[in-house]
Amino acid sequence: MKNAIITGITGQDGAYLTQLLLEKGYRVFGTYRRSSSMNFWRLEELGVVNHPNLTLVEFDLNDITSCIRLLESCQPDEFYNLAAQSFVGVSFDQPIYTAQASGIGALNILEAIRLVNKKIKFYQASTSEMFGKVQEIPQTENTPFYPRSPYGFAKLFAHWATVNYRESYDMFAVSGILFNHESPLRGKEFVTRKITDTVAKIHLGMAQTLELGNLDAQRDWGFAGEYVEGMYKMLQSNEADSFVLSTNQTQSVRRFVEIAFENIEITIDWKGEGALEKGYCATTGKELVSINPKYYRPAEVDLLIGNAQKAKDLLGWIPKTSLHELCSMMVQADLTRNQHGKSF
Ligand code: NDP
Ligand code: GDR
């Protein structure tokens, strides 16, 4: 039986990866940070929170002694570092904290692995946000980086730390450069889930309008359940490397809004421009979408579209869920949750 440590087990990817590794017969040690209230709703939704091969461990990734003790007690074969301050918007308000959690946190783990057991395979959750300002379309493992937020440059630090530890110390350290991936388990502050949850609430008469920021941003959105399979495959590959995971397609936030409303049989008519743009129901004329500039970011990533050919060729990883399927899955889940008065 293999042992795996997953940091950030309370997050979207942590939950799906836990489910996948348990299905594969792993013993999983999932780390969470101490707080006054426990937050395991995603593991509960997937029905794995009480699995006999899952151990939940309190852990702080900014405390290297805690990293060392974690490795010594769990004796992992594989280490998936998913914990991060992962919200780009907040990173502008909390840049130092973001750098510590999303940047230095990864370095702490790499250093602990180097000291305790260099044979532990390491996965770093890198991101398409490192590409930032468009340098090339589509983006691949060879596209130059140009991050546009404290989150982006913190993750770039962690990415280069991973590459350097791989090259300097002969460690199996992998960087997965993942484009946006969503699911019914996505946090509500991220735009897709904010949209699907509010659309469900509008349908049920629990909300009037959806307030958003930049509708023109374009993202390459895939299904998180498939992306964690890519993470797993990266650690089973013959050689440690860096891999892009993406769907190779892009859509605007505006289009995602339209698709979400189509799920409740509403067509959106757009009128106005910029901060004055609004979305109306095509049949009733009711205002359903408005812009609030407070959701604009100081610097935006305008266009992300990946090319995951390398992952397809070397890992056999191919995403299957279309954006329409993904959006529909999320709207349906939010309709059900809201009908049952669940707020997560
Ligand atoms: P989530 O925001 O859903 O989960 C983040 C996890 O990190 C949570 O478990 C959270 O714990 C934990 N965490 C946050 N801050 C700290 C901290 N200071 N110390 C310890 N743990 C912390 O993110 P996702 O699951 O979506 O993403 C997983 C990883 O992949 C992240 O590193 C993210 O940056 C990266 N990524 C995500 C992409 C995506 O589209 N989803 C794309 C590319 C990369 P708590 O529940 O206590 O807040
Ligand atoms: P992103 O995801 O920044 O790409 O980072 P997010 O869903 O937050 O934003 C996507 C785009 O939508 C625009 N936007 C809004 N965003 C939010 N959150 N709320 C709004 O109201 C809103 N209106 C418009 C944003 O400006 C942006 O352009 C995600 C995270 O999961 C990161 O951790 C991960 O690394 C990247 O994806 C890949």
Cβ atoms within 10 Å, residue 153: 22
For ligand 1, atom 9, the nearest C-alpha belongs to: 8
Average pLDDT over residues 83-105: 98
Residue 104 has pLDDT above 90, yes or no: yes
Cβ atoms within 10 Å, residue 149: 23
**Domains of the chain and any CATH numbers:** 3-183+221-248+303-320 (3.40.50.720), 191-216+252-301+328-339 (3.90.25.10)
What's the 190 CA to ligand 2 centre distance in angstroms?
Answer: 5
pLDDT band at 36 (very low <50, low <70, confident <90, very high): confident
Spacing of C-alpha 298 from chain mean position: 21
For ligand 2, atom 12, the nearest C-alpha belongs to: 191
Q: What is the pLDDT of residues 105-157, one digit of tens each?
A: 999 999 999 999 999 999 999 999 999 999 999 999 999 999 999 999 999 99
Q: Is 295 in the pocket of ligand 2 (CB under 6 A)?
A: yes
Q: Is 190 in the pocket of ligand 2 (CB under 6 A)?
A: yes
Q: Is 126 in the pocket of ligand 2 (CB under 6 A)?
A: no
Nearest ligand 2 atom, CA 211: 21
pLDDT band at 342 (very low <50, low <70, confident <90, very high): confident
Catalytic pick from 127, 143, 162, 250? 127
Q: What is the pLDDT of residues 238-275, one digit of tens each?
A: 999 999 999 999 999 999 999 999 999 999 999 999 99
**Ligand lying nearest the CA atom of residue 158:** 1
Q: What is the pLDDT of residue 35?
A: 86
Residue 37 has pLDDT above 90, yes or no: no
**Ligand lying nearest the CA atom of residue 296:** 2
Q: What is the pLDDT of residue 336?
A: 97
Q: Please answer whether residues 153 and 173 qualify as being in contact, where contact means their C-beta atoms are separated by less than 8 angstroms.
A: no
What's the 187 CA to ligand 1 centre distance in angstroms?
Answer: 10
Q: What is the pLDDT of residue 179?
A: 98
3 state SS of 203: helix
Per the prediction, the chain carries an average pLDDT of 97
Concerning whether 26 is annotated as a catalytic residue, the answer is no
What is the ipTM for the molecules in this complex?
0.99
Q: What is the pLDDT of residue 38?
A: 80
Please tell me the least confidently modeled range out of 60-64, 81-85, 229-233. Answer: 60-64
Q: What is the pLDDT of residues 185-213, one digit of tens each?
A: 999 999 999 999 999 999 999 999 999 99
d(CA 27, CA 4): 6
What's the 88 CA to ligand 2 centre distance in angstroms?
Answer: 7
Q: What is the pLDDT of residue 328?
A: 98
For ligand 2, atom 13, the nearest C-alpha belongs to: 214
Helix (H) or strand (E) holding 146: none
Tell which residue, 219, 145, 232, has the closest CA to residue 186. Answer: 219
Q: Please answer whether residues 161 and 114 qualify as being in contact, where contact means their C-beta atoms are separated by less than 8 angstroms.
A: no
Concerning whether 169 is annotated as a catalytic residue, the answer is no
- Its pTM stands at 0.98
Average pLDDT over residues 67-74: 97
Catalytic pick from 7, 16, 129, 196? 129
d(CA 42, CA 342): 13
Q: Please answer whether residues 143 and 159 qualify as being in contact, where contact means their C-beta atoms are separated by less than 8 angstroms.
A: no
Concerning whether 284 is annotated as a catalytic residue, the answer is no
d(CA 194, CA 211): 9
Q: What is the pLDDT of residues 292-325, one digit of tens each?
A: 999 999 999 999 999 999 999 999 999 999 999 9
- Which residues have C-beta within 8 Å of that of residue 285, sequence separation ≥ 6? none
Cβ atoms within 10 Å, residue 312: 15
CA distances in angstroms from 158 to 56, 75, 138, 163, 287, listed in the order given: 25, 23, 23, 9, 43
* Six-digit token string for 275: 């901060």
Select the more confidently predicted residue: 344 or 11: 11
Q: What is the pLDDT of residue 344?
A: 86
Q: Is 127 in the pocket of ligand 2 (CB under 6 A)?
A: yes
Catalytic pick from 80, 151, 227, 232? 151
52 upstream amide cis, omega within 30 of 0: no
What's the 83 CA to ligand 1 centre distance in angstroms?
Answer: 5
Q: What percent of the chain has pLDDT over 90?
A: 97
Q: What is the pLDDT of residue 148?
A: 98
**Ligand lying nearest the CA atom of residue 301:** 2
Q: What percent of the chain has pLDDT over 70?
A: 100
What's the 54 CA to ligand 2 centre distance in angstroms?
Answer: 31
For ligand 1, atom 30, the nearest C-alpha belongs to: 125
Helix (H) or strand (E) holding 173: strand 173-178
Q: Is 189 in the pocket of ligand 2 (CB under 6 A)?
A: yes
Q: What is the DSSP letter of 188?
A: T
Residue 29 has pLDDT above 90, yes or no: yes
Cβ atoms within 10 Å, residue 35: 9
What's the 207 CA to ligand 2 centre distance in angstroms?
Answer: 22
